[in-house]
């Protein structure tokens, strides 16, 4: 069966971690082996302006040599304008009601603190709790925005992201009910042995449903 070459969006954390043949760190080895796997198959790597800039700053020596070879083999998917304003607005508006409510409560407590010194410790405790929740909510949004260019590129390519970042993967997965574009994005971590990323790559890098951000374990029971 003829396998269709896939255009893979590879995160900078892979490009940075991939070590040479003498690398001992397991992550370095896994990233290197995965890149070699891409090189030895017909798959391609996606390149956008943002990805190129990040790779230029952080890529390892091995990755630099690997990329030169990929360009020479014409195995690079060059994408120009991948920015998706609709997607960005959806992510930016996530939990907007919660943020507004927390900011209002924060302002009310700050106003009370200016006038009432009797309950200062209690009010300061409440203020701290609100700020912690607000920081968590805004932190998730900021983390998703930091890597949203990977999603944008994947949507313009073959909907595959290769990354070690399990934190932001979890954030994106959490919001697939509200941001439907994310549901059909496959996210693969070559450093998780249970994901058998190299075998998946060699078998054609199919969009297996278990790898999709929108996949839920309960689906397998239905």
Asked if residue 103 has pLDDT above 80, the reply is: no
Categorize the per-residue pLDDT at 181 as very low, low, confident or very high, splitting at 50, 70 and 90.
very high
Instruction: Average the pLDDT over 174-180 and give the result.
Output: 92
Are 148 and 43 in contact by the 8 Å Cβ rule? The answer is: no
Asked if residue 18 has pLDDT above 50, the reply is: yes
**Ramachandran assignment for 95, one of left (phi > 0), alpha (psi -120 to 50 degrees), beta (any other):** left
What pLDDT is attached to residue 220?
Answer: 45
Asked if residue 2 has pLDDT above 70, the reply is: no
Q: Are residues 24 and 77 in the same domain?
A: yes
Asked if residue 117 has pLDDT above 70, the reply is: no
Asked if residue 70 has pLDDT above 90, the reply is: yes
Please report, rounded to a whole number, the percentage of residues in the chain having pLDDT higher than 90.
68
Residue where the block lists tokens 């934190």: 167
Start-to-end Cα distance in the chain? 30
Q: Are residues 48 and 80 in the same domain?
A: yes
Instruction: Average the pLDDT over 175-187 and give the result.
Output: 95
Q: Are residues 170 and 71 in the same domain?
A: yes
Radius of gyration of the chain (CA): 21
Residue where the block lists tokens 């070590």: 19
Q: Where are the beta strands (DSSP E) in 71-140?
A: 76-78
DSSP code of 182? Answer: G
- Tens digit of each residue's pLDDT (9 = 90 or more) over 161-173: 999 999 999 999 9
Q: Are residues 119 and 137 in the same domain?
A: yes
Are 6 and 185 in contact by the 8 Å Cβ rule? The answer is: no
Categorize the per-residue pLDDT at 222 as very low, low, confident or very high, splitting at 50, 70 and 90.
very low
Q: Which residue range is the domain that position 110 belongs to? A: 92-144
Q: Are residues 71 and 100 in the same domain?
A: no
Distance CA 51, CA 36 (A): 19
Instruction: Average the pLDDT over 72-100 and give the result.
Output: 88
Q: Are residues 153 and 205 in the same domain?
A: yes
The residue out of 144, 161, 187 marking a domain boundary is 144
Categorize the per-residue pLDDT at 104 as very low, low, confident or very high, splitting at 50, 70 and 90.
confident
Structure tokens at 194: 């249970």
Q: Are residues 80 and 169 in the same domain?
A: yes
Q: Mean pLDDT for the chain?
A: 89
């Amino acid at each position: 069966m003829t396998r269709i070459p896939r255009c893979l969006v590879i995160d900078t954390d892979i490009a940075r971690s991939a070590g040479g043949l003498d690398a001992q760190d397991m992550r370095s080895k896994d990233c290197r082996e995965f890149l070699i796997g891409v090189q030895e198959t017909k798959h391609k790597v996606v390149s956008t302006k943002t990805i190129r800039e990040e790779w230029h700053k952080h890529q390892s020596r091995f990755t630099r040599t690997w990329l030169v070879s990929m360009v020479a083999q014409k195995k690079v998917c060059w994408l120009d304008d991948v920015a998706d304003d609709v997607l960005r607005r959806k992510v930016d508006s996530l939990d907007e009601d919660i943020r507004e409510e927390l900011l209002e409560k924060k302002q009310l407590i700050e106003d009370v603190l200016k006038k009432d010194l009797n309950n200062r410790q209690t009010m300061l405790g409440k203020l701290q709790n609100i700020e912690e929740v607000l920081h968590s909510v805004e932190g998730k949004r900021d983390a998703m925005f930091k890597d949203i260019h990977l999603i944008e590129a994947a949507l313009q390519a073959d909907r595959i992201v290769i990354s070690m970042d399990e934190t932001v993967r979890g954030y994106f997965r959490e919001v697939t009910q509200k941001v439907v574009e994310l549901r059909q994005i496959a996210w693969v971590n070559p450093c998780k042995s249970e994901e058998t990323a190299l075998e998946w790559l060699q078998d054609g890098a199919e969009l297996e449903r278990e790898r999709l951000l929108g996949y839920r374990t309960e689906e397998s029971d239905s």
